[in-house]
Structure 1
Amino acid sequence: MDLSHGYCMVAVCLALTGRSDGVGVLPDRLSGAVGESVMLKVDQSTPLVMASVAWQFHLANGTVIPILVSVVVTTTAPEYINRTKFDNITGSLELSSLTINDTGLYKVMFIPLSGHPINGACNLQVHERVSGVTVTPNTTELLEFSSSVRISCHVSTGTSLSYLWMNGSSEITVPSDRVQVGDGGTTLTILNVTRYDRGPYTCNVSNLISTQKSAPLTLHPIYGPESIQIYAQVDQVEIGQVLYLSCRAESTPPALFTWMNGMNEEIGYGAEFLKTATLLDSGEYTCLAVNNITKLELRAVQSISVTDNSLSSGAIAGIAIAVILAVVLVGALIYRFHTSRT
């Protein structure tokens, strides 16, 4: 039996018995994924034995494509033979290897051995799954308060897409004077960026069958140096001990540090300065922080005292006694000199 003859038999039966619209026989809408399967399930409140069943695919332009008809035997259209599974008990149809072209209206017409004939219809929307979601900024050199950035969301595959931007765990849903979502949700623009606009930013893309999130993007606005400070283990060291200083400053990119002595001579580079202390190392130390992009610089000064505590306490006491005796002796000599002249 060919499909056209089968459809004629079903149509005659419907004409003789009258048709009945089966409300809820099929779901109103279904979504499927390219390359996967979908079940067009006939929902019968009471299972019925079918005398005949016919499935059709209706295109938007009005073209009707027969899929299969089952009267005595089941006959399937050649293009659907390897893509369908028909349940001759319930009348349900499974459609596999879906393509975008399978999007459209599916109708079923069937007549039970007893009872009224039933019709059902379902709109099937076939989508590509979302994949390959990435985000890219139009620039990475962002000067704080003066630069703007536009972040674009790209998708390798996917249809009927929706976009949602996230800053960390917070949705970016309400535009502001500085933060705007545009181009159908595919771009995020931040005007006059600040250091607090780092992110991380992600683009969440979804359709009815899938969702995917991009890898996070962190911005690095350029600023500084600010809040410079020198850290010293102690401000007084002994001869022979290590004189250690470190310098910190808020800056992006990280600041470059130069150390200078009280005569503004460069004596070291880097965030840390250390040397073995001598008496000549007493004085002021300056840390100069420079941002190579902003060209801004900032200084901090730390005073260090170097002492000589190498003598023992006994030696120090002996020296003190000797000084006292010397003072007494000098006084006695002066007294004797004056008395001898009188």
Structure 2
Amino acid sequence: LYLLASLLNFWNPPTTAQVMIEAQPHVVSEGKDVLLLVHNLPQNLTGYSWYRGKIKDIHHYLTAYLIDTHEIIFGPAYSGRETIYSNASLLIEKVTLNDAGSYTLEVNTHGDRNKGVTRHFTLHRDYLWWINGQSLPISSRLQLSSNNRTLILFSVTENDAGPYECEVKNPVSASRSDPVTLNVLRQLPKASITINKFNAVEHDDQVTLTCVPEIGNATYLWWVNGQSLPFSPRMQWSDDHRTLTLHSVTRNDTGSYECGIQTSVYAIHSDPVTLNVLYGPDIPRISPSDTLYRRGRNLHLTCFADSNPPAAYLWMANGTFLRPGNEVFLPKITKKNSGRYVCFAQNLVTGKRNFAFKTIKVVPSLAVGF
């Protein structure tokens, strides 16, 4: 890194010597010191002030020197690395990139307006890039940032593979990075899951899921519903974990399964595969739980059984089938409506059935305490 200084002269009539600022040395590496040496100061001086930038306000105020009292004043922009001398010169120690820019000297004299002269410094560094020890080729797929620090490769090809290096350079020094190797695969394989049954019957079926393709020295990972697979004694893995077998599936095995393949170079993830476990019907539940009914009331019974897919229902009352559905409604019941009410539930896909019954007794109104 270096500081580049050029001389700027203050405006004065041709008959008067011009105030000048000279950088010593003219080129300085980052971390070194630079002296802004002032020449041709006018007579009758009362003091001078330095500002960081071209704006002379309190926020940019660096430091000042009062000649009569030899007093030095520090402003808000003072960093602790600036030293002002009695001849108006300014020393900046251990310059950094943030020190780059303009510096303004304000000269104060008796009976005259304040005069200023500005000096601009530029910290400059060049960034160069190399691939396979050669400078970058010209390509519309290569894009460099405005300062060349960042390199972007669009639509990479196999020709872009190789060791990349960057170099930071200035007039007094240069440094090159260690190489970073870019590997370009011809095409990443697509991970997917094969499954022997998408719809499996609870307790009857065995389901086998296999993650493809088969890749040597790869690690195979599995998820269900976005979570790692829980332990189950019904789960069996192949030696490489590529194949998962679920013995005697249950409804808890229902879900979205995904697999991942990890190698030392890449990691790929499959699309989800949904396993649907068919189950039920479980033993139906008949509500309400009441068994005694007053004559003249309405009888309304509902039947429900857990099932996938939902069960079909049929009622029987005293050996006579009623209208299909999960509800029974009999208005203004009489004693002859007493008896056994049976609810049959059937899974029409698996063919499995289940039932429950309730005995209803219709009594005279006075026999029921309500």
Interval containing the TM-score (normalised by the shorter chain): 0.5 to 0.7
Aligned residue for 2:222?
165
For the pair 1:104 / 2:179, whether they are aligned, the reply is no
Superposed displacement of residue 95, structure 1: 3.1
Select the structure with the greater relative contact order (CA < 8 A; seq sep ≥ 6): 1
* Partner-residue secondary structure (3-state), 2:355: strand
Aligned residue for 2:202?
144
How has the CA–CA distance of structure 1 residues 183 and 292 changed in structure 2, closer, same or farther, with 3 Å as cutoff? farther
Q: Distance in 1 between matches of 2:354 and 2:245?
A: 32
* Partner-residue secondary structure (3-state), 1:224: coil
Q: Distance in 2 between matches of 1:256 and 1:105?
A: 68
- The RMSD of aligned alpha carbons is 4.6
Query: Which of these residues, 172, 182, 185, is aligned with residue 114 of structure 1?
Result: 172
For the pair 1:238 / 2:313, whether they are aligned, the reply is no
Identity %: 23
Superposed displacement of residue 275, structure 1: 1.4
For the pair 1:266 / 2:325, whether they are aligned, the reply is no
How has the CA–CA distance of structure 1 residues 278 and 132 changed in structure 2, closer, same or farther, with 3 Å as cutoff? farther
* TM-score (normalised: structure 2): 0.50
1:123-138 correspondence runs (5 A): 123-126=181-184, 137-138=195-196
Q: Deviations over 1:214-238 (max 9, x none)?
A: 5683x33223333333223632223
Superposed displacement of residue 148, structure 1: 2.3
How has the CA–CA distance of structure 1 residues 82 and 216 changed in structure 2, closer, same or farther, with 3 Å as cutoff? same
Superposed displacement of residue 116, structure 1: 6.6
Q: Distance in 2 between matches of 1:83 and 1:167?
A: 40
The one-letter amino acid of 2:343's match is: C
Superposed displacement of residue 202, structure 1: 4.2
The one-letter amino acid of 1:268's match is: R
The one-letter amino acid of 1:261's match is: A
Superposed displacement of residue 142, structure 1: 0.7
In the alignment of these two chains, the number of paired residues is 239
Q: Deviations over 1:188-219 (max 9, x none)?
A: 442321222123434567898998785683x3
Q: Distance in 2 between matches of 1:147 and 1:178?
A: 13
Q: Distance in 2 between matches of 1:223 and 1:117?
A: 70
Superposed displacement of residue 287, structure 1: 1.4
Q: Which has the higher helix share?
A: 1
Q: Distance in 2 between matches of 1:173 and 1:248?
A: 31
Q: Distance in 1 between matches of 2:289 and 2:179?
A: 82
For the pair 1:201 / 2:254, whether they are aligned, the reply is no
Q: Distance in 2 between matches of 1:85 and 1:153?
A: 39
1:10-29 correspondence runs (5 A): none
The one-letter amino acid of 1:223's match is: Y
Query: Which of these residues, 330, 345, 350, is aligned with residue 275 of structure 1?
Result: 330
Aligned residue for 1:94?
151
* Partner-residue secondary structure (3-state), 1:301: strand
Q: Distance in 2 between matches of 1:48 and 1:108?
A: 16
Aligned residue for 2:142?
84
How has the CA–CA distance of structure 1 residues 163 and 104 changed in structure 2, closer, same or farther, with 3 Å as cutoff? farther
How has the CA–CA distance of structure 1 residues 197 and 93 changed in structure 2, closer, same or farther, with 3 Å as cutoff? closer
